[in-house]
Structure 1
Amino acid sequence: MIRECLHFLIEPAKKLKIRLKESRKKVKLDKKEPLLESQLFIMELARELNKICQRSNVLSHIWTGEDLWAPTVCRDFIMVEWSSELEKHVQPRSRSECERPEKRDWREQLLCMLESGGEGDMGAHRRIILDWSRQIRSSPEPSVWPGEPVLMMLDDLEFQWKRGRLPTLLPAMELVLLAVINGHAPIKGDVPKLWLQRTQSRRSVDALRYVPHGVWNWMCERAEEVFLDPDSAHADLLLSEGNTKMRCVPERGAQQRDMPCCPQRFTGWWCAVAQEGYTSGTHYWEVEVGDRDWRVGVACESAVRRGYRALNTHTGFFTLRLERGSELKALTVPPTALPRSLAPRTLGLFLDYDQGQLSFYDVDKRSHLYTFSHNFSERVFPVFGTVEVLRDLVIRPAHARQPCLCPGACLWT
């Protein structure tokens, strides 16, 4: 009887217990993994750089946790990429500073406590970065004006990250670091160049694809005319009058066996080189390659052009190749396969001879494809190859390069 009277209380209590249990289970499932030392350190570094570099608010997405990097990315950033670079800019401590016990703030104590979580090998690398940031804050000029080119690039990178074209704001963090390191340099415009060299060479395949339009404009300013050398062209290649176009005419070679025998002529592969080679400086040119079969890059002056030797880095050729319209690869040893989706219709090439970099870009998407790194020691020539019989491979004139005119973040890419 009493039980029946209290039934109206027992049943709601049971339901409440079930709901609480389900709620705890949901919270447990939704609970995020705790942050590791490397991730916390990146967040604090972003906060410090935001204080040092004027108008670098783009980094707020990092230190608030909105842009959270994977632990492996954080570790590579700290240990592989930046600790050795910043060590060059850290002044050695005086003896009194070394003997004085160091007072740690709560953030550093938290990082030290987390070292037992499997990332304790980062201590020395983290210390270098902390010493560098501490020296910047204690200098007579604790803040740095990055310059308008850098600010425009930061706005562009932030805009593309919000659009989903950038997985993280890591390139923005690197740009701010370079701006702070070179904060008192007389020419602020060198920072985009340094950023380009660093970003697109250290990871030839996995480097940042998107190129900020400020850097793109800087490359386009180095565009120059490139003309094919008729004396180097295979006998089956038909060159235009201006020596800027070529296509394959297989029966042409049989009809012109009386062509002069030049030592620089290709006799095996259907290729040709440019009239002018390079031994220094930066150079940019563009090629309309189509979507079937081509190879484009540079060739060393001593590279053998006769016969059917492999055209790869071991024989002095640094080229990209699209084969049968489906296989895009960098002709390294062994070849480096690239996603077919990256195959461009118009290919841009940027050669920095002194830095030993040859980079390839998709002109239409303004994105990076691949970078060769090599210490060039002789003259190199732009090289072109095709098996197309219906469509020309075209070297675009220098004035065809169109810089981006957007005042801030690029709205067209």
Structure 2
Amino acid sequence: MMKDCLQFLIEPAKKLKIRLKESRKQVRLEKKVQLLESQLFIMELSRELNKICQRSNILGHIWTSEDIWPPTMCRDFIMEWAALLEKRVQYEKAEKKDWKGHLLCMLEVGGECDMGPHKRVIMDWTREIKSSHPIIWEPVLMMLDDLEFQWKRGRLPNLLPAMELVILAVLNAESPVKEDVTKQWLVGKQRFSFISCVPTVWNWICEAAEDVSLDPDSANPDLLISNDEKRMRCGLERREAPRCRRRFDGWWCAVGQESFISGRHYWEVEVGERDWRLGVAKASAVRQGFRSLNTDTGYLTLRLERGSDLKALTVPATPLSQSLVPRKVGVYLDYEQGQLSFYDVEKRSHLFTFNEKFTEELYPIFGTVEVVKDLVIRPADLRQPCLCPGPCLWN
């Protein structure tokens, strides 16, 4: 009888117990995703930098549910920029580390403890910029708008490029030349990242466009070169051609008539769907026979085989994703920076960059084994229209 009377209390008690159990489970899950110190530091740094961005609020997006940086990325970012700031700004050297304690701490907490000196360098720098009130240039603000546009559409995995761009803009606030920030940012992105190229930077690359033509005297005898020396494909019969050191007699390649020993240069090529090779060849590179055309033999090239096997011919070769296979390739050479970069012209996305100190003449190289579709060098004045909102500041 008593049990029946208390039944109205038993059921709510059971439900309360279930809710408490679920609450404890939720608390445990929240503890698992609790932000680490390096992640919190990035969030605070973005808030400080966002205050000087004027009309752009892109850094306010950092650490939203859509933009979360892994701990390793945060630590790398802090260490890299602290090292750069130490070179650009004079700071007192950090105290000598206790390496035994440092290693034990690394094992215990996953590497967070060694961030202290690096964080102090960045924090000292942020205090300095607060008092100086640097102004972000209009071109940089346009680039930030472009980055935010791409991030919101899922084309950027995180806002790391925006953070780096703002820091570079602040560091170069006194520079009278607007290209300085663009160049520093581009060089860094080409070296370490694969991101879509924002329109303002893309236009700056295109300013280095060259009118490149094929050199018939270097072409493999199996290749057919058009009269305007802008197209080539494999013929069905081998033509008679005099043997010389300049000519490829093994691989189906030809070089450009132009060569480069300094400066920035850019050219675009419409490629086939099955097989092509693009890049540069050093003046000393051997062109006879079937030696591998890779970095060991003086060639810096990108190669597509069988329609889907895209790779950079480093040693060993660097495979690239099948999703990156382009139809139009932009080749960008910055001789002084030691960079040869490849872009998908239609997507304005970065494919790969070779980093090397150049010391000799470099010749554009082109290769194909297709017999139906021509490999076509596009005219220097033919490029995609500018996507800058309003008047473009880079024309």
Normalising by structure 1, what TM-score? 0.86
| Structure 1 CA distance for aligned equivalents of residues 29 and 124 of structure 2 | 40
Are 1:91 and 2:90 an aligned pair? yes
Alignment of 1:123-138 (within 5 A): 123-138=116-131
Give SS of 1:287's match: strand
Match for residue 159 of structure 2 among 169, 173, 187:
169
1:291/1:66 CA distance change after superposition, 3 Å: closer
Conserved in 1, the CA contact under 8 Å of 2:194 and 2:352? no
When the two chains are superposed, the root-mean-square deviation of aligned CA atoms in Å is 2.2
Cα drift, residue 92 of structure 1: 3.5
Whole-Å separation in 1 of the counterparts to 2:342 and 2:382: 17
Read off the aligned partner of 1:265 and give its amino acid letter: R
- Aligned twin of 1:187: 177
- Give the 3-state SS of the residue equivalent to 2:304 in structure 1: strand
Kindly provide the amino acid, as one letter, of the partner of residue 25 in structure 1: K
Cα pair distance change 1:118/1:405, threshold 3 Å: closer
Secondary structure of the corresponding residue to residue 370 of structure 1: strand
Q: Which of residues 235, 258, 262 in structure 1 aligns to 2:221?
A: 235
- CA deviation after TM superposition for structure 1 residue 64, in Å: 6.0
The yes-or-no answer on 1:390 pairing with 2:372 is yes
Letter matched to residue 231 of structure 1: D
What are the within-5 Å matches in structure 2 for residues 10-409 of structure 1?
A: 10-29=10-29, 33-62=33-62, 67-79=67-79, 81-92=80-91, 118-138=111-131, 142-201=132-191, 203=192, 207-253=193-239, 256=240, 259-407=241-389
Shift of 1:27: 4.5
Cα pair 1:44 1:63 within 8 Å, conserved: no
Q: Structure 1 unaligned segments of length 5 or more: list them.
A: 99-114
1:34 partner letter: Q
Give yes or no for contact 1:290–1:346 (8 Å, CA) kept in 2: no
Q: Distance in 2 between matches of 1:180 and 1:370?
A: 28
- Please give the per-residue CA displacement for 1:249-293, whole angstroms capped at 9, x wherever unaligned: 14133xx1xx33332111111110000100111011000112111
SS in 1 for 2:150: helix
Question: Structure 2 counterpart of 1:84, which letter?
Answer: A
Q: Distance in 2 between matches of 1:25 and 1:93?
A: 47
Q: In 2 relative to 1, CA 93–307 (structure 1 residues): closer, same or farther, beyond 3 Å?
A: closer
Q: Unaligned stretches of 5+ in structure 2?
A: 95-107
Q: Is the 8 Å Cα contact of residues 56 and 176 (structure 1) preserved in structure 2?
A: no
1:119: how far off?
1.0
2:98 aligns with none
- Are residues 294 and 11 of structure 1, via their aligned partners in 2, closer, same or farther at CA, if it must alter by over 3 Å? closer
Distance 1:117 1:332, change over 3 A: closer
Displacement of 1:353:
0.6
CA distance in structure 1 between the partners assigned to 2:51 and 2:388 by the alignment: 28
Matched pairs, number:
379
**Equivalent pair of 2:273/2:307 in contact (CA under 8 Å):** yes
1:375 CA drift (Å): 0.6
Distance 1:182 1:65 in 2: 31
Identity of aligned residues (%): 67
How far apart, in 2, do the equivalents of 1:178 and 1:304 lie? 41
Q: TM-score, normalised by structure 2?
A: 0.90
Q: Over residues 374-403 of structure 1, what are the superposed CA-to-partner deviations in whole Å (9 max), with x where a residue is unaligned?
A: 111011010001111111110001121123
Distance in 2 (alpha carbons) for counterparts of 1:46 and 1:2: 64
Counterpart contact for 1:149–1:189, Cα < 8 Å: no
| Closer, same or farther: CA 22–137 of 1 in aligned 2, 3 Å | closer
Separation (CA, whole Å) in 2 of partners of 1:276 and 1:65: 50
Alignment partner of 2:354: what SS? strand
Query: Match of 1:85, SS?
Result: helix
